Amino acid sequence: MSYQAPIKDMLFVLNELADLSTINQLPGCEDATADTVEAVLEENAKFCGEVVAPLNHPSDKEPSFWTDGQVTTSKGFKEAFKGFAEAGWQGVQHPADFGGQGLPKLVHTPCTEMLNSASLSFALVALLTDGAIEALLTAGSDEQKATYLEPLITGKWTGTMNLTEPQAGSDLAAVRTRAVPNGDGTYKIFGTKIFITYGEHDMAENIIHLVLARTPDAPPGVKGISLFIVPKFLVNADGSLGARNDAHCVSIEHKLGIKASPTAVLQFGDHGGAIGTLVGEENRGLEYMFIMMNAARFGVGMQGIGLAERAYQQAVAYAKDRVQSKDLAGSAGPVAIINHPDVRRMLMSMRSQTEAARALAYVGAGISDIAHSHPDAEVRKQNLAVYEYLVPIIKGWSTEMSENVARDGVQVHGGMGFIEETGAAQHYRDAKILPIYEGTTAIQANDLVGRKTVRDGGAVAKALIAQVRATEAQLADAQGADFAAIRTQLVAGSAALEAVVDFVVANTKSDIKAVFAGSVLYLRLAGIVLGGWQMARAALIAQQKLNAGEGDAGFYKAKIATARFFADHVLSQAGSLRTAIVDGYAGVLALDNEQF
């Protein structure tokens, strides 16, 4: 159950698909030279593989636990987080001004993948802290930045996002937590928040809760929500810790997976009121929270990819080790099960989907860097629109993909997969949270349909499809059955996606339920087409390298075969998804509630 970061594939994607050599020309990104990036990845791989990965399974067996308001995290977590912080890994993509390394998101992305492969539960504390940092960078006052950013970026403190309340679930309009002004610029916060990841723990000196709440005169619904900083310990002017704030963890959840990650119920203000300070302006909390959420959503997509990679590696190791039954083509004795075609099919399915999702996410990260750092405002704007289109897909598709991969990982293990000691079952349990938190796939799909497709009349989607078509043209010039098959499926896939975009744009106004009946399927279709596109690009580049006699021929041949597999087995589902969306809404909506 060890983990070795797939550095070779990561570097291939960074350099060949996500175009690192362009990204590191952007202002502020110059440090990300190819050599530096390779060194960062190798160092990170070492830390994740040696320090964090060994904690994953033991921490599932002995999860974090709650006693009298305190949470004791799983054995080794505290020390590992200290190492993580000291090595500067929390600050990879954060500004050097506040103690970060100031590297592009494109470089942080493989680091996040590795940390999540090593331990989803452990990685969550960093992911939530990243979200808090992003929100403060965007909307915090200079004083707030000066107080909170450096301790967060250097991993001295950690951050949380406090959205969900028992009655509200995903519906933030229903948030009830109250913020009452004290007259001195601070507020007293009262309310209950649930599902707060790392809402309490023992791995850092302080925890900075970012909390959605309503001021007394706030309008109802989402337009009356403000964002507050509510630290676990108040912070003195000199940065030292002051009094314990009235924000207490009253319990943690008993969960299906990510058991080492404490999921807290936090009670604010049961003893007079928790002290909070407003972030940015009143009633703009949701907007700021979306900054955290977009970062976190991308991060959860990376969790899916990280988990899938780990499950794949574990399944490959088992399949090579486990000897059972003769080879179909007729060996004398039993062979390692990797030689059995169905085991190989599952491994290829796991591998190809993981690689496709990785490629799409890294490409998305590069686009985000352009959107943030390009000198031309118009280029920034265009790239931001593309990145925002991709975020719900990267989150929703990569995480649902990871469920399937984790499922196949158990299946490769046969009966042993069902026994908890092998660890395959842990991935299956852990994966199930990913399409749920930071917005379920349905919520990602709502975002994809509403804000990302209908609002611009499908313009960004169509621009991406045009790029897919350009790759199709290149495929037409490539030789051999593999490229022919990839092209056939990509052509069918982009046609299906275009038809669905047209359907969505044409019908959302007139028949919104018909469109939303297929919104998750649209997200999935976009994922497989755009992921398949990246695999097709990868195959074309691999063939160029082979033709030129450059690099590792085995790696490039495997890339082409993996792209071929993805096309025939995954991308080929595009037509079915199109049918399910364009024709299938009738069946979704036909029954009355009582008929269920």
Task: Give the footprint of a second copy on residues 555-594 (CB under 8 A).
Answer: 557-558, 561-562, 564-569, 572-573, 575-576, 579-580, 583-594
Tell me whether residue 5 or residue 367 sits nearer to a second copy (CB atom).
5
x/- contact string, 354-393, with a second copy (CB under 8 A)?
A: ----------------------------------------
What gap in Å lies between CA 566 and CA 574, rounded to an integer? Answer: 12
Task: Give the footprint of a second copy on residues 409-448 (CB under 8 A).
Answer: 410-411, 414-415, 417-421, 425, 428-429, 432-433, 435-437, 440-442, 445
Contacting residue, 57, 156, 284, 322, with a second copy by CB under 8 A: 322
Contacting residue, 103, 292, 293, 348, with a second copy by CB under 8 A: 348
Q: Is the dihedral of CA 159, 162, 166, 168 positive or negative?
A: negative
Contacting residue, 332, 473, 481, 548, with a second copy by CB under 8 A: 481
Task: Give the footprint of a second copy on residues 126-165 (CB under 8 A).
Answer: 164
Query: Residue 259 contacts by C-beta under 8 Å, 6 or more apart in sequence?
Result: 59, 60, 63, 64, 121
What gap in Å lies between CA 453 and CA 432, rounded to an integer? Answer: 27
Contacting residue, 57, 75, 344, 455, with a second copy by CB under 8 A: 344
Contacting residue, 1, 87, 168, 541, with a second copy by CB under 8 A: 168
Residue type, 49: G
x/- contact string, 235-274, with a second copy (CB under 8 A)?
A: ------------------xxxxx-----------------
What gap in Å lies between CA 84 and CA 52, rounded to an integer? Answer: 9
Q: How far is the CB of 516 from a second copy (least distance, A)?
A: 4
Contacting residue, 309, 388, 403, 498, with a second copy by CB under 8 A: 403
Contacting residue, 34, 39, 173, 250, with a second copy by CB under 8 A: 173
Contacting residue, 219, 341, 457, 551, with a second copy by CB under 8 A: 341
# chain residues binding a second copy, by CB under 8 A? 102
Q: Can you name the residues that pair with 192 across neighbouring β-strands? A: 267
R_g (Cα) of the chain, nearest Å = 24
What gap in Å lies between CA 259 and CA 257, rounded to an integer? Answer: 5
Residue 173 to residues 110, 279, 443, 453, 571, Cα–Cα distance (Å): 35, 19, 14, 23, 38
Interaction between residue 306 and a second copy (CB under 8 A): no
Closest C-alpha among 162, 392, 340 to residue 263: 162
The window from 94-102, 203-211, 345-353, 377-385 that contacts a second copy (CB under 8 A) reads 345-353
Contacting residue, 201, 340, 374, 524, with a second copy by CB under 8 A: 340
Tell me whether residue 56 or residue 519 sits nearer to a second copy (CB atom).
519
Query: Residue 571 contacts by C-beta under 8 Å, 6 or more apart in sequence?
Result: 489, 490, 492, 493, 528, 529, 532
Element at 165 (helix H, strand E): none
Tell me whether residue 185 or residue 330 sits nearer to a second copy (CB atom).
330
Q: How far is the CB of 437 from a second copy (least distance, A)?
A: 7
Contacting residue, 170, 251, 382, 507, with a second copy by CB under 8 A: 170
What gap in Å lies between CA 154 and CA 596, rounded to an integer? Answer: 52
Task: Give the footprint of a second copy on residues 482-541 (CB under 8 A).
Answer: 482, 485, 489, 512-513, 516-521
Residues 60 and 82 sit within 8 Å (Cβ to Cβ): no
Q: Can you name the residues that pair with 268 across neighbouring β-strands? A: 191, 247
Q: How far is the CB of 415 from a second copy (least distance, A)?
A: 5
Q: The tokens 């539960």 sit on which residue? A: 121
79 is catalytic: no
Q: Can you name the residues that pair with 196 across neighbouring β-strands? A: 264
Here the tokens at position 488 are: 């056939």
Contacting residue, 351, 358, 395, 524, with a second copy by CB under 8 A: 351
Tell me whether residue 30 or residue 552 sits nearer to a second copy (CB atom).
552
Residue 18 to residues 11, 12, 185, 226, 565, Cα–Cα distance (Å): 10, 9, 45, 37, 22
x/- contact string, 42-81, with a second copy (CB under 8 A)?
A: ----------------------------------------
Tell me whether residue 145 or residue 569 sits nearer to a second copy (CB atom).
569
Residue type, 456: D
What gap in Å lies between CA 360 and CA 537, rounded to an integer? Answer: 11
Query: Catalytic pick from 150, 309, 388, 438?
Result: 438
Residue 318 to residues 48, 324, 342, 366, 478, Cα–Cα distance (Å): 21, 11, 14, 35, 36
Residues identified as active-site: 438
